Chains A and B, each alone.
Chain A
């Protein structure tokens, strides 16, 4: 990590300078002694003012030198007694560094290409500029890859070198020669299709409701929410500028986010990092809610339960909107015992570091939702969707869907 390298360099400098310094002080002392000797010799033959001045000059340097000498020694003592403990370098688990590296270098956490992330939009021919920017952040599209990597992770020791290579996949492709395509090929085509189509469906729904969307296509970058989430605030400072450059190019005034994580970071973090970040940030749910009177009726004969996502319910305070939308479509739905601002987390956030723990939390949440005997669990967040699907047991035939997928039924015909 660049920051650490800088720090390391400083540390190195400290010691490096120290040796030079001791040498300098030592040489200085010798020189002065010699000089005094010379003066004494000279004295026998008569003192010259030049030599006296010179000695005073050397002595000044000498005291100056000793002063720094003292500082260095004090610093060494402090280091020794552990005063500097907090500055000790910390080696993080590799997975964090890999996610960071991928976002910063490739514009998304799993180093997919822009063209792969934007593949869903091919047939829609969305303009690249407009008032309302449709922002996927690549998050739904990335989901199947995250799961494939997490399953790689679960079977491997996180500390091993091989593991870092695997996680680095495309990130490290030049160094190791491991073919990222091979790893990513393990993603099932049907999963890839499902998650790619969510972005497509969202765009179609919004268009049919009369919204005029523009889309940045393969230039679109991931929001960087994970950088903020995982503590890489320094990287985020530069990354946010990269992303907002893409936003600026779209000439949009409003950005509609499919993922509540993206919406949260654009709404609360970006304005602090990027000057004149004056976009209105909306979530997909809000746009639908505004036009809820135009929504088609859906009669599926299946009961629905809402899984409120943490970001949506607690940070963005969007809970009633979801219910209003379902009501407008004539959908009867159940409420889980922990809902709205008391919703239970799907376990998604710690999937990368503690996959098994995350899995158990998801399974527990599914059980909570199933206590309502609903046939369909509806969520409105890519990570909730992926985490809940991952936590489902094989024999469980409850349908877990994103709100986008559910809504699309009414727009298909």
Chain B
């Protein structure tokens, strides 16, 4: 018998403590304000966005309905581009596939990825005897501080600059003042050397185009550009729900994602379809010119295809991970990622149930949701989280 009361009790203590944490309060209020302002501004500047979002909703709907066919097509496209495509049924398979490609004793630079969190990828690769570095600044801070992300896009949203300075001073063994520019510079210096000495770069992907096998990765820091470009091997680990039929459609999904993710216009949009190559000498195609010689894509299922078959929940797979809903969630606003288990807030509760943790971990989250529905107002995919939460409650209550 699963005694949910125990799960509820420890979670309840954690979330209540978080709701009294001044750092979280300060950081999130600031973040919410800036999110709403930037998003409003960029929606005004690009007024076609809501219409485009409606189009993307349809794209995602058909993509999820044809998931298996698209997966097959995407894998073939990757292979045709001289990459290697794999399908991992679950977490275990995904990790073993990655470990087989990487081996042991390697240096790995990694871009931020929620799938990576779902798989505990960094921890696993470290256990396998590798040196793994998170290149996203927020993730890097958390890696040093041994914490889990508190937001899917701004993982260290709750850590103020003073605390960052403390962490960096200790790690770099030199004085880093609580000045954001200097903190950023310190990481830049440290990371630069890692990129060029790394054996493997790992990234996720925001969207995958099945027809061309293109991986689209949105970013601002430029870390993904370096981590996927400099090392001789690039591994993409991506959830199968990210695949859409065509390149053109992928671009639409990409634009909607960044617009609602408060990027305005993102610094970089990377499109990677295969290993680096050149035909400049005698028109002989040779791989590994300046970029990686080897390109691997691991498509991870881990419960997603089960979810796609359930009418009540399949729309949760439309999630673009823009994180907009979290800023609107009254619970998230006072507790940050404590309202979550890997995936956060209401939509996170649904993902937890199917993909990351199961019902036991999802139950306390499912009952935390206020079902107030403001996330639906924000969501470009209009995912009806309150109704899914209610269905999950029925599932929990009826055993």
List the count of A-B residue pairs having beta carbons below 8 Å apart.
125
| A345 and B2 within 8 A (CB) | no
Residues of chain B contacted by A267 (CB below 8 angstroms): none
Say whether A251 faces chain B, with CB atoms less than 8 Å apart: no
* Known contacts A231-B390, A310-B372, A345-B372; is-contact A357 B396 (Cβ 8 Å): no
Q: CB-CB contacts of A112-141 with B at 8 A, as 1s and 0s?
A: 000000000000000000000000000000
Q: Are B399 and A3 in contact (CB under 8 A)?
A: yes
Decide if A353 touches B367 in the complex (CB within 8 Å): yes
Q: How far is the CA of A87 from the CA of B399 in the complex (A)?
A: 6
Q: How far is the CB of A13 from chain B (nearest CB, A)?
A: 17
Closest CB in chain B relative to A340 CB, distance in Å: 10
Stretch at the interface among A34-42, A91-99, A321-329: A91-99
Q: Which residues of A contact B5 (CB under 8 A)?
A: 91-94, 158-159
Q: Does A300 contact B (CB under 8 A)?
A: no
**What residue in chain A is nearest B366 (Cβ atoms)?**
A231
In the complex, whether B15 has a CB less than 8 A from a CB of chain A is: yes
**Docked complex Cα distance between A353 and B334 (Å):** 17
Contact at A158–B9, with CB atoms within 8 Å?
A: yes
A101 / chain B contacts, CB cutoff of 8 Å: none
Closest Cβ of chain B: how far from A411's Cβ, in Å?
A: 32
Is A372's beta carbon under 8 Å from chain B? no
B161 part of interface (Cβ distance < 8 Å): no
**B265 on the interface (CB 8 Å rule)?**
no
Given A89-B1, A90-B1, check contact A232 B397 (CB 8 Å). Answer: yes
Instruction: Give the bracket for the number of chain A residues in contact with chain B.
Output: 35 or more
Complex Cα gap A364–B5 (Å)? 28
Task: Name the one of B2, B9, B368, B395 contacting A91, with C-beta atoms under 8 angstroms.
Answer: B2
Q: Are A3 and B398 in contact (CB under 8 A)?
A: yes
A357 lies within 8 A of B394 (CB)? no
CB–CB A345/B374 < 8 A: yes
A3 shortest CB reach to chain B, Å: 6
Question: Of the candidates A90, A315, A342, which one forms a contact with B374 in the assembled complex, judged by CB atoms under 8 Å apart?
Answer: A342
Contacts of B19 in A (CB 8 A): 356-357, 360
> Is B4 in the interface zone, CB < 8 Å from A?
yes
- Please report the C-alpha to C-alpha distance between residue A92 and residue B6 in the assembled complex, in whole angstroms: 10
A392 CA to B22 CA, complexed, in Å: 19
Whether B331 pairs with A361 at a CB distance below 8 angstroms is yes
SS of A interface (majority): helix
Check A93 against B395 for contact (C-beta < 8 Å): no
Residues of B contacting A356 with CB < 8 Å? 16, 19
B371 smallest CB distance to A (angstroms): 6
Q: Which residues of chain B have C-beta atoms less than 8 A from A342's C-beta?
A: 328, 374, 377
Residue on A with the closest CB to B372?
A: A345
Closest residue to B364 on the A side, CB-wise?
A353
Q: Which residues of A contact B328 (CB under 8 A)?
A: 342
User: Which residues A1-36 have CB closer than 8 A to chain B?
Assistant: 3-4, 7
CA–CA, A7 and B1, complex, Å: 12
Contacting pair B374 A229 (CB below 8 A): no
Inter-subunit contact B1/A360 (CB<8 Å): no
For residue A314, CB closer than 8 A to chain B, the reply is: yes
User: Nearest-CB distance from A260 to chain B (Å)?
Assistant: 12
Within 8 A of A (CB), among B331-369: 331, 333-335, 359, 363, 367-369
A357, B8: Cα distance in complex, Å? 13
Given contacts A231-B394, A360-B334, contact A353 B8 (CB under 8 A): yes
Sample of 18 further A-B pairs with CB below 8 A, known A159-B9, A230-B397, A353-B367: A89-B1, A90-B1, A92-B397, A93-B8, A94-B5, A96-B367, A158-B12, A229-B390, A231-B397, A231-B398, A310-B372, A342-B374, A349-B370, A349-B372, A353-B8, A354-B16, A357-B19, A357-B368
Chain A contacts to B: CB under 8 angstroms:
3-4, 7, 86-94, 96, 157-159, 228-234, 310, 314-315, 341-345, 347-350, 353-354, 356-357, 360-361, 364-365
Contact sample, A vs B, 25 pairs, CB 8 Å cutoff: A3-B398, A86-B359, A90-B4, A90-B359, A158-B12, A230-B367, A231-B390, A231-B396, A231-B397, A314-B373, A342-B328, A342-B374, A343-B374, A345-B374, A347-B330, A348-B370, A353-B368, A356-B16, A357-B16, A357-B331, A357-B334, A361-B331, A361-B370, A364-B330, A364-B333
Give the 6 A-B CB pairs with smallest separation, nearest first.
A231-B393, A345-B372, A231-B397, A231-B394, A310-B372, A349-B370
